[in-house]
């Protein structure tokens, strides 16, 4: 007997699913537990299975369509040629009800640790530069990131330089569009973006037509449909901002010990790529062990102090943010953390994380230091009670007993849920974290 195959609920924060691809065609038979479609959730693309053997009688939605969990997307049965007219009629009615909002199912209850982007951070690029912008002892700043740079762009030395010529101009898609509108030759434009990448501002300021500026061509508005990820980020941002009474604690850490530690790790274990953020995750995990009120979640009748220390790491991906979780970070070495973060961030970029890998954290770190940000505040990922916003490591003038010297400094700001964390409790946590950061030999690496 023919019946509906419904959009599965395969993510705890899923409000709608996008049909990415049908894996089983109409009229095709399939075995039990076959993958019939690929579905895009708010955080990842997942394979949708059917647990009985049968035949695909009719696709009800097309690739790219969005429907909520539990909504029919196909009709299947045991034999080809089964009558599906009644089900098609029912589907059309439910489709009309959904469009009018009459029968739309309620959204899924928010679950732990869906990513909450920073309140003041700029919109993330589709692929965030990474590796290292690791300036030497005469440099001004140290930048870290998890992902590979886009295209041919590489970073290093005391300044970012354009890549060796490969016959391809490094320019953003927007810069290419503006260049085409204004008649600017991209190879003649000097890029000021990361790695010499040409930006829109570079194109608009470039001479054209013999050095005279032509009238700029007005560009039409572009309407970008909100993805399930964008909708979830917006909903959880509003929930966190509205429901949680927050306050902020900012501290400046002496990073000399961090710089020397990582320099030593690179010299003695060059094959083990460890970033400053990896060491910071280990330091935060160690501090959380000593401060259970920070590693906690609010409930209407009780506060849960988590026995586990699961640290989320905010990672920018195409279209939004996601927070992969390093489980039991307090029991892992910094080398294990580094390997795990690279793996999680790489698969996050490909939308291949499972819900278990980006939910259930107990504390989150959001690091924008790699983008030249010195200080910012971040929004808490419910039901966590705190998030640490991390700025860049900069070399600045420092007053010492000997006079004015230079030293490495980094600013961090912790956003706290005041229902769980009082000011003194949050300050005590940052004191402990400062001890580990400024004296990393205390950490069991």
Residues annotated as catalytic are 418
According to DSSP, the residues that pair with 311 across neighbouring strands are: 326, 363
Tokens matching residue 390: 């991390």
Contact 326, 320 (CB under 8 A): no
């054209």: which residue's tokens? 208
H or E element, residue 400: strand 386-400
d(CA 218, CA 24): 46
CA nearest neighbour of 437 among 200, 270, 252 = 252
DSSP string covering 368-390, please? -GGGT-----B---TTBSEEEEE
CA dist 415 and 180 (Å) reads 44
Question: Which strands form 17-22's sheet, in the order they lie side by side?
Answer: 45-50, 34-40, 17-22, 66-67
CB distance 144 to 132 below 8 Å:
yes
Extract the runs of DSSP E, i.e. beta strands, from 306-385: 311-313, 315-317, 320-322, 325-326, 363-367
Q: Count the alpha carbons within 13 Å of 325 in the hemisphere toward its beta carbon.
A: 21
Q: Contact, 445 vs 334, CB < 8 A?
A: yes
Phi, then psi, of 251 in degrees rounded to 5: -140, 150
**CB-based contacts of 61-64 (< 8 A; 24+ apart in sequence):** 61/19, 62/19, 63/19, 63/20, 63/21, 63/22, 64/18, 64/19, 64/20
SS3 145: strand
Three-state secondary structure string covering 8-59: CCCCCCCCCEEEEEECCCCCCEECCCEEEEEEECCCCEEEEEECCCEEEEEE
CA atoms of 76 and 137, how far apart (whole Å): 66
The torsion angle over the Cα atoms of residues 325, 330, 335 and 340, rounded to 10 degrees, is -10
Residues 6 or more apart from 249 whose CB is under 8 A from it? 413, 414, 416, 423, 426, 427, 430
CA distance 390 to 374: 8
């Amino acid at each position: 007997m023919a019946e509906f195959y419904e959009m599965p609920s395969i993510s705890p924060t899923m409000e709608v699913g996008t049909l990415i691809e049908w894996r089983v065609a109409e009229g095709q038979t399939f075995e039990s537990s076959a993958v019939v479609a690929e579905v895009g959730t708010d955080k990842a693309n997942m394979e949708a299975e059917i647990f009985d053997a049968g035949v695909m009688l009719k696709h009800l939605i097309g690739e790219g369509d969005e429907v909520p969990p539990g909504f029919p997307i196909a009709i299947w049965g045991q034999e080809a040629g089964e009558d599906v007219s009644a089900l098609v009629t029912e589907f059309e009615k439910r489709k009309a009800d959904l469009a009018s909002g009459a029968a739309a199912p309620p959204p899924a209850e928010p679950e732990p640790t869906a990513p909450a982007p920073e309140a003041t951070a700029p919109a993330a690029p589709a692929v965030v530069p990474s590796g290292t912008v690791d300036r030497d002892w005469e440099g001004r700043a140290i930048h870290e990131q998890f992902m590979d740079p886009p295209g041919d762009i590489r970073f290093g030395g005391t300044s970012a330089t354009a890549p060796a010529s490969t016959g391809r101009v490094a320019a953003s898609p927007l810069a290419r569009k503006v260049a085409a509108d204004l008649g600017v030759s991209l190879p003649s434009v000097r890029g000021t973006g990361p790695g010499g990448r040409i930006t829109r501002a570079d194109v608009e300021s470039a001479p054209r037509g013999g050095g005279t500026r032509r009238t700029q061509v007005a560009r039409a508005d572009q309407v970008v449909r909100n993805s399930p990820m964008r909708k979830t980020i917006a909903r959880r941002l509003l929930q966190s901002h509205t429901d949680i009474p927050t306050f902020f604690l900012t501290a400046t850490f002496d990073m000399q010990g961090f710089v020397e530690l990582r320099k030593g790790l690179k010299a003695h274990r060059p094959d083990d790529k460890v970033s400053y953020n990896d060491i910071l995750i280990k330091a935060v995990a160690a501090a959380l062990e000593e401060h259970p009120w920070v590693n906690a979640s609010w409930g209407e009748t009780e506060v849960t102090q988590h026995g586990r220390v699961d640290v989320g790491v905010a990672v920018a991906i195409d279209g939004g943010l996601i927070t992969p979780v390093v489980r039991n970070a307090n029991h892992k070495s910094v080398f294990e953390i580094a390997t795990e973060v690279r793996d999680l961030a790489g698969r996050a970029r490909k939308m291949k994380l499972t819900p278990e890998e980006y939910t259930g954290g107990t504390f989150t770190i959001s690091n924008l230091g790699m983008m030249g940000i010195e200080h910012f505040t971040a929004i808490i990922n419910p039901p966590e009670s705190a998030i640490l916003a991390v700025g860049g490591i900069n070399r600045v003038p420092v007053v010492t007993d000997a006079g004015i010297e230079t030293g490495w400094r980094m600013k961090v700001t912790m956003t706290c849920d005041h229902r769980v964390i009082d000011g003194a409790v949050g300050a005590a946590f940052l004191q402990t974290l400062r001890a580990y950061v400024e004296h990393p030999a205390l950490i069991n690496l």
